[in-house]
Amino acid sequence: MGQASIPCRVAYVAAHNCCYTVSHLFTPFTFQAPAGPLTLPNRIVIAPMCQYASQEGQANDWHLAHWAQLLNSGAGMLTLEATAVSPEARITPGCLGLWDDVTAAALKDILQRARRLAPPMPVCIQLAHAGRKASSEVPWRGGQLIPLEAGGWQTWGPSALPHLPQEAAPKALSLEGIAKVRSDFAEAARRSAEIGIDAIELHAAHGYLLHQFLSPLANQRQDAYGGSFENRIRLTLEVFDDVRRSFGGTLGVRISGTDWVDGGWSIDESAELARHLKDRGAQFVHISSGGVSPLQKIALGPEYQVPLAKAVRERSGLATFAVGLITDAQQAEGVLARGDADLVALARAFLYNPRWGWSAAAALKGQVQAHPPYWRCLPKEAGPIFGPDARIGMR
């Protein structure tokens, strides 16, 4: 696993001349990658959240506003939304992309401008291919498959099996098509390094292409990429290796811990895949669930995916993110204090409250960085969450 830069211990806060115990949530965490260590100031990760606001895959002013506020959130790391590695890899026409020099230039420009408006924060990008769930409408227009005659595009999967029974089936990827997918991920990783990305998360969850290959519900191939567990994980491991050759920074994978369907991808397989990833040099695994089948039966509730993260962490020894209906600071602290995960990821909570990290610091007596124009905003009950150097004066 990665390691904490400091243990959870008693710390001195000069601003209040008092002592208190540093929370688990606000203890730094360091990933050890081939290109060097990456230290997060706390264990809060902003999970990727699709915005469906791009045109031709290009980042724009929406992303500038969105990323700037999240970079000012007090989190330990921001993960950019699922970023398509090719035009056909997009979930919707509005998805962000990183497949050529044009999309790379737009992403680099917007991200650099956003970073200038906030304190330093590591940035991770989620690289993705939607597979048979591509060519979809944006959620506020129903989110359903867009037919070819209505402006959609050809979808691809491990097998010619539709996600929903009434949908047109994807085409099964040939070996040449699989080779292109691998190349697309590697090229997107190379561009990520060139534009200053600190970490990459490969998307192998939520029913998208890599997950489709993992799950026997979507993968009924008869070749080296289907059938046995070793064959079904082959593409994910190949993509990981290809990306690692292109990118020396922190690298991990998001997986669905279970399909929530009998006969589907299981928690035992997730733990075994995590062991394979650790052996290949992964820095983390991010445990979500579901998304590959409409037959899934998910028992939603607070922390409903945390037991999956705990199981993968215990069995693999790989640094693990827990995610899913973790909404308040004490809840996040409990996940870490129990040893269920190494870091906690939140998504919708940050959309609702882009200063969630500040609120958590106030609740747990932690510290976060803030841009000087915000230093005078704190209510008394928040305490010195910006640290002893955050001082202002007026005539």
Which residues are part of the catalytic machinery?
Answer: 208
CA dist 56 and 146 (Å) reads 16
Q: Which residues pair with 201 in a beta bridge?
A: 126, 252
10 Å CB burial of residue 174 (0-12, 13-18, 19+) is exposed
Q: Is 98 left (phi over 0), alpha (psi -120 to 50) or beta?
A: beta
CA dist 93 and 54 (Å) reads 8
Tokens representing residue 221 in the block: 């191939």
Tokens representing residue 65 in the block: 């506003």
DSSP assignment of 120-141, as one string?
---EEEEEE--GGG-SB--GGG
Q: In sequence order, which residues have a C-beta less than 8 Å from that of residue 301 and are 6 or more positions away?
A: 325
Q: What are phi and psi of 197, to 5 degrees?
A: -70, 140
CA dist 12 and 388 (Å) reads 11
CA dist 207 and 52 (Å) reads 18
Is residue 339 within 8 Å of 317, Cβ to Cβ? no
